[in-house]
């Protein structure tokens, strides 16, 4: 049975709720969702026409609403073909296949297409800012353009699971703006002096990393910001506030460079801990009110490109991606407090390229760090 259809059957049987279903579907590729829609809506008069050009988010909504409202799908032509090269190529092939004899092996064609896509250069992003040279920042998260634009407005908070690429996105944004990049991790033990520095007995300002970032116009990343003590983070409100031009430091007032920008990276929304991220703390409302927010969830298509670029064979890397996707789905289904992120795919592919077996790679990047019950539960999905 198609794996997504199997997931849907479990949902219908009450194995998990709609939120869990949506999470699992978002972690599947557009092509996998398209095949599931094609199967699920095979008897619908508009199903085949709509599926050929549907976008990923539309297919997720159709699968969920189809379950709840009698397999209804949007009218054909409502959803345009996505801009992703895989979507465009697949839609084109689907049109050609409809004109060919039924003897064509669709699975074989899809397999060939996937192999060719894997060998194609990754789609890159070029950032054009008036009066500045065009910058090629390579393949980026789908929300990267939103990050770059929002940074021109003020402090941006990237909220997403561990390993979803928040730090690398902030670094790439600094490159796009042609600015230096400074990253600082904060946490429960971070003090105000760690951020603002202090004046020693000789009158010298020490720990001036943040002050230099402000005066020299860097892009400053404050990582793990939701784990910071709220009293300390509140003292940083002046740093976060784009309307504040001067920040008070122990050695005096520091004037912000006009190009100074801040990115805040968090696993939670700053409203307290979650089951997965127990270090998250409730932040002051005045702090959270100073940010523009972007959901930085896993992007499975981006993950695939990154994984295929680690040196393992296409066959081994593709199998590894499918394995990690199954484990990630299993963790969601069973409520395991396990993070199976992008790093698991990338590091596992590196291990395969270095000559480790698949089982050894699983132990190295994931299973050996878990308890016996957690390992057994995850392995049940393989």
The CA distances from residue 83 to 40, 54, 113, 142, 381, in Å, are: 24, 11, 17, 11, 33
For the chain, helix (H) and strand (E) counts, in that order, are: 19, 11
pLDDT in tens, 53-112: 677 777 888 777 766 544 444 444 444 444 455 555 555 555 555 444 445 555 666 566
Domain range enclosing 77:
1-120
304 in a domain, yes or no?
Answer: yes
Domain assignment present for residue 126? The answer is no
Could you tell me if residue 46 is inside a domain? Answer: yes
Is the residue at 128 inside a domain? Answer: no
Q: Looking at the domain assignment, is residue 134 inside a domain?
A: no
- Cα 144 from Cα 65, distance rounded (Å): 29
65 against 179, higher pLDDT: 179
Q: How confident is the model at residue 248 (pLDDT cuts 50, 70, 90)?
A: very high
Q: Mean pLDDT over all residues of the chain?
A: 82
Whether residues 251 and 368 fall in one domain? no
One domain, residues 358 and 256: no
Q: In this predicted model, what pLDDT tens digit does every residue of 101-146 receive, in sequence order?
A: 445 555 666 566 555 555 555 555 666 666 777 888 888 888 999 9
Q: Which of 102-111, 259-268, 337-346 has the highest mean pLDDT?
A: 259-268
Residue 229 has pLDDT above 90, yes or no: yes
Answer yes or no: do 108 and 153 share one domain.
Answer: no
| Phi and psi, residue 184, nearest 5° | -135, 130
> Do 148 and 72 share a domain, yes or no?
no
The span from the CA of 156 to the CA of 147, in Å, is: 7
Domain boundary among 64, 88, 120: 120
In this structure, of 30-44, 177-191, 227-241, the range with the lowest mean pLDDT score is 30-44
Q: What is the largest distance, in Å, between two alpha-carbon atoms of the chain?
A: 86
Number of domains in the chain: 3
Helix (H), strand (E) at residue 47: helix 47-51
Q: Angle between the 300-308 and 314-334 helix axes, to the nearest 10 degrees?
A: 140
- The mean pLDDT of 215-236, rounded to a whole number, is 96
**Residue 237 placed within a domain:** yes
Q: How confident is the model at residue 39 (pLDDT cuts 50, 70, 90)?
A: confident
| Lowest-pLDDT range of 120-124, 174-178, 307-311 | 120-124
Percent of the chain predicted with pLDDT > 90: 48
Quick one: 343 and 280 in the same domain?
Answer: no
Rounded to an integer, what distance in angstroms lies between the CA atom of residue 101 and that of residue 283? 62
pLDDT recorded at residue 57 = 78
- Among 30, 138, 39, CA closest to 90: 30
**CATH classification at residue 271:** 3.40.50.300
Most confident of 128-137, 189-198, 217-226, 268-277: 217-226
* Segment 9-13 long-range contacts (CB within 8 Å, at least 24 positions apart): 10/333, 11/67, 12/67
Residue 130 domain-assigned? Answer: no
- CA atoms of 40 and 43, how far apart (whole Å): 8
Does the structure show a pLDDT above 80 at 350? yes
pLDDT tens for each residue of 295-305: 998 888 888 98
Q: Are residues 39 and 64 in the same domain?
A: yes
Angstrom distance (rounded) from CA 92 to CA 375:
42
- Give 313's pLDDT tier (boundaries 50, 70, 90): very high
* 299-326 average pLDDT score: 91
- Verify that 28 and 157 share a domain, yes or no: no
The pLDDT of residue 150 is above 80: yes
Domain shared by 99 and 13, yes or no: yes
Of 15-19, 277-281, 283-287, which gets the smallest average pLDDT? 15-19
* Rounded average pLDDT over 261-290: 93
Statement: residue 14 has pLDDT above 80: no
Clarify whether residues 11 and 65 are in a common domain. Answer: yes
In a domain, 40, yes or no: yes
If asked whether residues 116 and 196 sit together in one domain, one would say no
Q: Which residue has the higher pLDDT, 328 or 85?
A: 328
Please check the confidence at residue 222 and state whether its pLDDT lies above 90.
Answer: yes
The partner residues of 295 in beta bridges, in order of sequence, read: 159
Residue 104 or residue 252, greater confidence:
252
53 plus 100 within the same structural domain: yes
Does residue 290 share a domain with residue 155?
yes
The two tokens of residue 378 are 């995850």
Q: How far apart are CA 6 and CA 329, in angstroms?
A: 12
Domain end residue (candidates: 232, 261, 295):
295
Over residues 299-324, the mean pLDDT reads: 91
pLDDT computed for residue 59 by the predictor: 81
> Could you say which of 274, 295, 316 is where a domain stops?
295
């Amino acid at each position: 049975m198609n794996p997504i259809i199997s997931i849907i059957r479990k949902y219908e049987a009450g194995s998990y709720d709609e939120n869990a279903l949506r999470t699992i579907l978002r972690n599947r590729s557009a092509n996998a969702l398209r095949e599931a829609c094609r199967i699920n809506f095979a008897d619908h008069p508009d199903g085949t026409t709509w599926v050929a050009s549907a976008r990923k988010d539309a297919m997720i909504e159709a699968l969920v609403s189809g379950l709840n409202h009698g397999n209804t799908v949007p009218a054909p032509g409502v959803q345009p073909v996505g801009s992703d090269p895989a979507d465009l190529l697949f839609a084109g092939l689907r049109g050609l296949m409809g004109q060919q004899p039924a003897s064509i092996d669709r699975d074989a064609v899809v397999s060939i297409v996937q192999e060719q896509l894997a060998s194609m250069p990754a789609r890159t992003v070029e950032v054009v800012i008036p009066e500045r040279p065009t910058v090629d920042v390579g393949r980026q998260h789908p929300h990267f353009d939103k990050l770059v634009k929002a940074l021109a407005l003020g402090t941006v908070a990237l909220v997403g699971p561990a390993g979803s690429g928040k730090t690398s996105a902030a670094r790439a944004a600094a490159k796009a703006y042609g600015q230096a990049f400074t990253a600082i991790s904060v946490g429960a033990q971070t003090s105000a002096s760690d951020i603002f520095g202090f004046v020693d007995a000789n009158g010298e300002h020490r720990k001036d990393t943040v002050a230099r970032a402000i005066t020299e116009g860097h892009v400053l990343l404050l990582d793990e910001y939701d784990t910071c003590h709220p009293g300390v983070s509140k003292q940083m409100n002046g740093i976060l506030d784009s309307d504040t031009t001067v920040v008070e430091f122990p050695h005096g007032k520091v004037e912000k460079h006009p190009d100074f920008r801040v990115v805040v990276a968090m696993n939670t929304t700053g409203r307290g801990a979650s089951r997965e991220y127990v270090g998250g703390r409730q932040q002051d409302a005045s702090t959270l009110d100073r940010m523009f927010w972007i959901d930085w969830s896993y992007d499975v298509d981006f993950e695939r490109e990154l994984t295929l670029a680690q040196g393992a064979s296409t066959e081994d890397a593709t199998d590894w991606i499918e394995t990690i996707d199954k484990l990630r789905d299993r963790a969601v289904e069973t409520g395991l407090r396990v993070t199976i992120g992008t790093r698991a795919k990338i590091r596992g592919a590196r291990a395969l390229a270095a000559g480790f077996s698949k089982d050894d790679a699983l132990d190295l990047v994931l299973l050996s760090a878990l308890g016996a019950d957690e390992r057994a539960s995850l392995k049940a999905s393989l």
